[in-house]
Amino acid sequence: MATRRKEEKVPNGRITLFAAINEDQYDALKYLTYKKKKSLAEITREAIDVYLSTVEKESD
- Average pLDDT over every residue of 55-60: 80
- Measured between its terminal Cα atoms, the distance across the chain in Å is 18
The pLDDT of residue 13 is 80
> Is a pLDDT exceeding 80 seen at residue 48?
yes
User: pLDDT tens for residues 2-46?
Assistant: 565 555 556 788 888 899 999 999 999 999 999 999 999 999 999
- At 51, give phi and psi (nearest 5°): -60, -45
- Please tell me the distance from the alpha carbon of residue 57 to that of residue 54, in angstroms, as a whole number: 5
The pLDDT of residue 52 is 94
